[in-house]
Amino acid sequence: MMSDFRASHSLIRRAEAQFRSGIIRCLAVSLVVLPLAGCSSVSSLNPFGGEKYETKLLPDVPAEEIYDQGLARLQRRDSEGAAKKFAELEKQYPYSQWSRKGLLMQVYSFYEGGQYDDAVVHANRYIGLYPSSPEAAYAAYLMGMSYYKQIPDISRDQENAEKALLAFTALVQKYPKSEYVEDAKFKIQVTRDQLAGKEMSVGRYYLSRKNYTAAVNRFREVLGKYQTTRHSEEALFRLTEAYLALGITHEAQTAAAVLGHNFPDSTWYNDAFKLLAGGGLKPQENKNSWISRAFTRVLG
């Protein structure tokens, strides 16, 4: 009796194990192919039958090979395809040096392909993830260049010029020893000149419409923010012109005097001198004027 019981108990255990195995296989298959079939009965599970649902694993591609494939696409000027290939490094080799290199090369690929908005997004990601890496300055430089390449003429909105200025300024401050600093400084001056040119364009427009107060505000912006640009000379002359039109002669005289002190050989100073002389006035600096204080602050 005891031997019969043990035999029976063993059969039951085996049957339970088979049942549980069948249910697990049924659930696994149903999760993969829900619309095709369910498991209606345990008896339909044939452990010796052929595989209905074959799982295929893609072979691992070495990181170096993926990287080289991306470089090859860049050489063929397939920038978008290169960016996709470099993105595979992030997916297949996360938290590795290859992932970091892949992200940087995505920035470069998007930049080379003229997809500047994508380049900026990925450059920001790179700097956020790897701010201390040796290539972080390069990512920051590419971000600045992506904005710089989109700067329009001064008749249009200068948002990209402002963003380029901020990006290059951040590069100089965060990575002062970088090889990109010298060019970044040059482009900072170019973007500042562009932004000053925009203010001058609007100021001249207001001046032509005899909206002198609005014109003064624009020229004041040039002297306040972009005093080291080539537009300072004209801005001082235009202030002389606008203040004379408003009857604020002491400010007109100050603008002309500051213009003469800082740019004595300027044709704009000659024009300002003649303009004042036509009204019986001459350049005379008022030290309490905002114009005088602005130049003292910068030049001092």
Taking 90 as the threshold, does the pLDDT of residue 11 lie above it? no
Q: What percent of the chain has pLDDT over 90?
A: 77
pLDDT digits (tens, 9 = 90+) for 44-61: 433 334 444 455 544 578
CB burial of 271-293 (b: ≥16 within 10 Å; e: otherwise) equals: bbbebbeeeebebebeeebebbe
Reported confidence tier of residue 295, pLDDT bands at 50, 70, 90: confident
The residues, any chain, with a CB within 8 Å of residue 74's CB and separated by 6 or more, are 82, 109, 112
Per residue, the 3-state secondary structure of 135-197, as one string, reads CHHHHHHHHHHHHHCCCCCCCCCCHHHHHHHHHHHHHHHHCCCCCCHHHHHHHHHHHHHHHHH
pLDDT digits (tens, 9 = 90+) for 161-208: 999 999 999 999 999 999 999 999 999 999 999 999 999 999 999 999
What letter does residue 43 receive in the DSSP assignment? G
Q: According to the model, what pLDDT value does residue 144 have?
A: 98
Q: Residue range 269-290: average pLDDT? A: 96
User: Which residue type does 79 have?
Assistant: S
Among 4-8, 102-106, 186-190, the least confident range:
4-8
d(CA 273, CA 260): 9
Going along the chain from its start, the domains and CATH numbers come out as 62-130 (1.25.40), 213-299 (no CATH)
What letter does residue 114 receive in the DSSP assignment? T
Alpha helices in the chain (DSSP H): 2-32, 63-75, 79-92, 97-112, 116-129, 136-148, 159-174, 181-208, 212-225, 232-246, 249-262, 267-277, 290-299
Cβ proximity of 102 and 67 under 8 Å:
yes
Cβ proximity of 91 and 103 under 8 Å:
no
pLDDT digits (tens, 9 = 90+) for 116-140: 999 999 999 999 999 999 999 999 9
Tell me the pLDDT of the chain averaged across its residues.
85
d(CA 43, CA 229): 87
* Structure-block tokens of residue 67: 């990287």
Q: What percent of the chain has pLDDT over 70?
A: 79
User: Which residue type does 281 have?
Assistant: L
Q: According to the model, what pLDDT value does residue 296 have?
A: 66
Q: Is 109 helix (H, G, I), strand (E, B) or coil?
A: helix
Q: According to the model, what pLDDT value does residue 70 have?
A: 96
* Structure-block tokens of residue 181: 């600093």
Q: According to the model, what pLDDT value does residue 297 have?
A: 54
Q: According to the model, what pLDDT value does residue 197 have?
A: 97
Taking 60 as the threshold, does the pLDDT of residue 42 lie above it? no
Q: Residue range 74-102: average pLDDT? A: 95
d(CA 172, CA 37): 63
Q: According to the model, what pLDDT value does residue 60 have?
A: 79
d(CA 94, CA 272): 65
Reported confidence tier of residue 146, pLDDT bands at 50, 70, 90: very high
Q: Which residue has the tokens 């290059």?
A: 168
Measured at the CA of 50, the angle between CA 47 and CA 52, to 5 degrees, comes to 100
Question: Which position has the higher pLDDT, 3 or 156?
Answer: 156
pLDDT digits (tens, 9 = 90+) for 218-262: 999 999 999 999 999 999 999 999 999 999 999 999 999 999 999
Taking 90 as the threshold, does the pLDDT of residue 15 lie above it? no
**Residue 259 CB: number of other CB atoms within 10 A?**
28
